[in-house]
Amino acid sequence: MKSVKYVVAIVAAMSVLALSCASSGGGGAAKEEGPVVPVFVWNFDDPDAGALGWVPADSHWDYKGDVTVSRDDTTLGKPMLRVDLDYSGNSSSEWSEAKIRCPFPEPIEIGTVSRFNCDLYYNPEYKSRGSFKGKVFAMEGTREKSTAEASLKEEDAGNGWMKAKVTFRVLKAPGNMDATQLGIVGYKTNYKGPILLDNIYWD
């Protein structure tokens, strides 16, 4: 069995250090913010790593379609997580939620994270109506220890694709999480096709 490669702890390439220059003539001191340090990152650089442990969840909410999770190295020219979805049987639903999940190699203390982040891509050609929202779950076994949800702010990604940069800020909770669960929520949509995920990490 091919090993699944995870990247944990500090990722220097993703750290951001923001410095603001002192205003001219104002004598103000420059402000320095600490780096954004990912706590857990899913890195798709290794072509042998597959989908890095992401699989369809055991259950969904008001969703009748199939859920297929795989790795996609070609559609947008770089390796990404691919989720094939079909909301056509729930196109009148205001909250049709397909779920995927991924276990951690070791449990992570929930108090050490504050946000789940990812880039989500979809192609409008695969729907004639509706939109998407998202929801993330910090899971311990079958228990939802902390959750967050948000609407998606989209921008044109080129080649007919739309991109939404997703950030879910989760509430602190005691204990650990041993898996991440992500809900891709259809709002009155008949979307049938792939959704791609990239830059997936907790910080």
| Residue pLDDT tens, the chain, 203 long | 444 444 433 333 333 323 233 333 444 444 444 567 899 999 999 989 999 999 999 999 999 999 999 999 999 999 999 999 999 999 999 999 999 999 999 999 999 999 999 999 999 999 999 999 999 999 999 888 999 998 888 999 999 999 999 999 999 889 999 999 999 999 999 999 999 999 999 99
Longest alpha-carbon distance in the chain:
64
Residues whose CB is less than 8 angstroms from the CB of residue 104 and which lie 6 or more positions away in sequence, other chains included: 40, 177, 178, 179, 180
- Ordered structural domains, the chain, with CATH: 50-202 (2.60.120.260)
pLDDT value of residue 89: 97
Q: Report how far residue 155's alpha carbon sits from residue 160's, in angstroms, rounded to the nearest whole number.
A: 11
Overall pTM > 0.75: yes
Amino acid in position 28? G
Distance of CA 70 to the CA centre of its chain: 15
On the CB side of 18, how many CA atoms lie within 13 Å of its CA? 5
